Chain A
Amino acid sequence: MTAPELLALLPYVVLATTAVLVMLSIAARRSHGAALIISLLGLAVTLAAMAYGGWGGAPQPVTDLLVVDPLATVFLGLTVLATVIVALLAAGYLQQQSVQREEFYVLLLTATLGAATLAASSHFASLFLSLELLSVSLYGLIAYQYERPLNLEAGIKYLVLAGVTSAFLLFGMALLYSQTGDLRLPGGGAPGALAGPVTPVYLLGALMVLVGMGFKLALVPFHMWSPDIYQGAPAPVAAFLATVSKGGVFAVLLRCFLTDRLSEHASLYVLFVTVAIVSMLVGNLLALLQTNLKRLLGYSSIAHLGYLLVPVVAGGHMAAGTAVFYLVAYFVTMLAAFGVVAVLSGGSRDAAEFHEYQGLAWRRPWLTAVLTTALLSLAGVPVTAGFMGKAYLLANGAEAGEWVLLLALVAGSAISIYYYLRVIMVMFGAVPEGASVARPRPVLAGLVLGVLLGLLLGLGAYPGPALTMLLALMGG
């Protein structure tokens, strides 16, 4: 390996080392604080290594397996930052659980490593390994509180799902290999690598890969699993699932299918448009029926991934930047929403049923402010990050003339506002009799939520710097 290759690989190495260090520290002496601090330090060093290596340069292949290009770097940064937030949220959350707390961080770090390398994969082998690393870690994380039946159920569902995903992916890869004789992604992993079906078998292979990703992203019609898992998983893990896990897979989707010429491949184009529209509508319609906030966010996440397909379909010079900016807004919003759930949860179960939020505004005004802003951001109301993201999605679609897709997006948003408002209305309702007031107020999580609230409003009011940076990075 050459020096530039090593330099590009450094953040990933640091991340992997951190996971090992946390594990060793547990072997030496169990300490929740130490595990948390080592994890956070490791994540900080990862970011530092990423900054040291520089970003936005030419793609740097690292052997045949990985390519460190702007797409990979952006997702690495996003993933690590989101993991920092999840770790801080989890610290307060786990404090109230009777389980062993330290291994949580090992699993969290390995899952992060999986998601980060997934975004950098330029070879089917690394792609598959990263995905398995992510999935296997997630089995543990989702079923972490194994004494809770819902957690176990969610963990097993995720296990089955991941198995199905792997099967589809592997079969798709085999079909692609049969046509090209090469396991490397075409074009060295440049965006749009798979969007060039030449033969029916190749197309079938690409579709299989897409189905695999569809399961992981919970796009309709591969969405059945997702709400159960969101409901069952511990709140910080659900946040991780909604953001880092989906983000990593979405990066692969961009790498494989983001091209200006998607409309030239009629079958792929129709498939993407259909999946996008159906995801937006079905996700939002099913969310209307929910009375559990975690489930509701799960359905909402389905719809949001549908929205995120707009730039993939539309293409154009700003597609990648738009998608990533939307993803940033989505990350911030989802982390804030699940963060509030995590702070409110404790003891034997997560606080996620609507009635547990009754009158929250008058008991915990700041938590309510964060959750309200997050829900408005998901709905795409100014002045929030979600609005700016949606505005750019709409602009991207309008420029490409995808009016049908945009109408579906608008219809989906209109439906979605109803269920977000229902939650808000519950929070601003009357305080129920005998509502418990005294709950520990974790300082760390409070700080994190404060930062997230600042980001939600900041990205909505003054998105210039972030947008310019992302668009420039992604070649907008």
Chain B
Amino acid sequence: MTIPLLSLMTFLPLVGMVIILCLNRERHVNAIRGVATVFAALSFLVSAYLFLPFNSADSAIQLEEKALWFDAAGFVVNYHMGIDGLSLPLIFLTTLLTLLSVIYSWRITERVKEYMAFFMLLEVGMLGVFCALDFFLFYVFWEVSLVPMYFLIGIWGGPRREYAAIKFFIYTLVGSLAMLLAILAMYFTSQPHTFDIIELTNQKLFAGPFGFGVKHFWVATLAFWGFFLGFAIKVPLFPFHTWLPDAHVEAPTAGSVILAGVLLKMGTYGFVRVSLPMLPGPAQYFAVVIVLLALASIIYGALVAMAQTDLKKLIAYSSVNHMGYVMLGVAAAVGATVPDRYGPTLEVARITALNGAVLQMFNHGIITGALFFLVGVIYDRAHTRDLNSFGGLAKQMPVYAGIMMMASFASLGLPTLSGFVSEFLVFVGSFGVYRVFTALAVLGVIFTAVYFLWMIQRIFLGPLNRQWTELTDMDGGELVATVPLCFLMLFIGIYPRPLLDLINTAMSGLVYEMSQVIHLVQGWGMWG
């Protein structure tokens, strides 16, 4: 019997949570922290081990696990898990960031038991989302990841935590309910009825040219927009992003790291796992909406980030900006374009854009994760995040300055750091599909550079503010949380190939499958 690696990885934190709940909140504080760390580490080790049995040259789903969950009234719901080149990097990202967050969270002193228990549950939900291949299971994990994050923000958050937590929950819940309707629409359209994501994709429900008046127009449209709402709120795509600055600013440091590093990826993952392969026709038909909203996210996110004086808010809006690149790549992977661009190079462009988008998900996870840790570092010491109150800190905290600058440069897309690779791929690929939109999106990179450089200038350069002569440099726990991420930024920036090969196999397969189903030259995006 083979070991169910994915289930093992997903549910190890649940075991940790149960153990934590059995420990005494006052007497066993360090034991609680230790258990959380050990189980996060075990889960991380299993996820790292996954790379060994995984065949990166195979675009099919691997390490599958399937068992009947329940079956009533002909409603067959399976426990179906599996991974491919899309989910594996995100799984690795999840376990890595959770482990680092737990290590960083040793400094939490209030209600440690509940904190760590919620963190473990959060990891179960996130890993489950990336592994689940049955819509019902997917939805359950999706929601399971929502509840602990709500508590993490609502209990350990900043002054406006209650508002932020409720806003976060309601936005996401509205999205997921819309998604639930879309799932049911898919279920009842499929023949035979199924919740299985792979089977639904293989059934090619809405194959052929898509447009107003085709047989399944309304069902497919409802399904597409249902999923769109669920995923776009999570990404978040402009104009659904307003929960994000609140949630990020109020969340505790590790909560922000997970929120930005992993939870946002669930949205883009959904687009690539569900919307593109399952609904390529509607996706192509409505791609222009996605691309316009992505463009708005890029430009608007960058401009608003530029206007922030709160460091954490700045990083939060930079997420809106960076996730916009992912969505640009997603739209380019399917969008209609002018006829003279059709041909073999178009597919290459689509694959390139999608590779960039998936790599950008991973990169944004490590870079923004690191940045949020770094915001926590300064806030713990100075108890303010006001950019204008700092200055000259490079002298006072040289290690901190170095790591912060490296993460910022990675985020703004400096070559040799990871952000550059993925953004470059997104732009190259998207340019083959949308020339005007891509050219406009590149403007976003300039704005990104502006706000990061300006941020660095205001915090680290200039004369040292007398107020901060007491500040100490980073301690051991903070270094453990951030250095591995910096190493990954550099590694992927210089040698992205192993990861990219993995992604490329899956994305080539996806684009190929989509091109079999839609025979295009239609849609509204042709002037882009």
Contact = CB atoms under 8 A, between A and B. Distances in A.
A194 B151 CA distance: 48
Given A398-B188, A425-B162, A467-B70, A382 B181 contact: no
Contacts of B146: 381
B contact patch SS: helix
A290 to B, nearest CB: 16
A463 B170 contact: no
A457 to B, nearest CB: 12
Contacts of A383: 140, 144
B143 A421 contact: no
A418 B172 CA distance: 12
B151 A428 contact: yes
A463 to B, nearest CB: 6
Residue with the highest number of chain A CB atoms closer than 10 Å, among B75, B144, B178, B222: B75
B185 A376 contact: no
B188 to A, nearest CB: 6
Interface size class of A (residues with CB under 8 A): 35 or more
Contact of B170 (A391, A418, A429): A418
Interface in B165-191: 165-166, 169-170, 173-174, 177-178, 180-181, 184-185, 187-188
A464 B170 contact: no
A contact patch SS: helix
Interface in B133-178: 136, 139-140, 143-144, 146-147, 150-151, 154-155, 162, 165-166, 169-170, 173-174, 177-178
Given A410-B177, A425-B165, A471-B72, A382 B144 contact: yes
A387 B165 CA distance: 21
Nearest to B163: A425
A468 B150 CA distance: 33
B454 interface: no
A406 B181 contact: yes
B177 A413 contact: yes
Contacts of B139: 382
Interface residues of B, number: 36
A426 to B, nearest CB: 9
B71 A414 contact: no
A464 B77 CA distance: 10
Given A394-B180, A394-B181, A428-B151, A318 B73 contact: yes
Contact of A382 (B74, B75, B143): B143
Given A414-B170, A425-B166, A399 B188 contact: yes
Interface in A393-427: 394-395, 398-399, 403, 406-407, 410, 413-414, 417-418, 421-422, 425
A399 B72 CA distance: 15
Interface string B62-89: 0000000111111100000000000000
Nearest to B162: A425
Interface of A: 317-318, 321-322, 361-362, 376, 379, 381-383, 387, 391-392, 394-395, 398-399, 403, 406-407, 410, 413-414, 417-418, 421-422, 425, 428-429, 462-464, 467-468, 471, 476
**5 closest Cβ pairs, A-B complex:** A464-B70, A467-B72, A398-B184, A318-B73, A382-B140
6 contacts: A381-B173, A387-B140, A394-B184, A395-B75, A417-B169, A476-B73
Given A395-B75, A398-B184, A414-B177, 19 more contacts: A317-B73, A361-B114, A379-B173, A381-B173, A382-B140, A387-B140, A387-B143, A394-B181, A398-B188, A407-B181, A417-B169, A418-B166, A418-B170, A421-B169, A425-B154, A428-B151, A428-B155, A464-B72, A467-B72
Interface of B: 69-75, 111, 114, 136, 139-140, 143-144, 146-147, 150-151, 154-155, 162, 165-166, 169-170, 173-174, 177-178, 180-181, 184-185, 187-188, 222
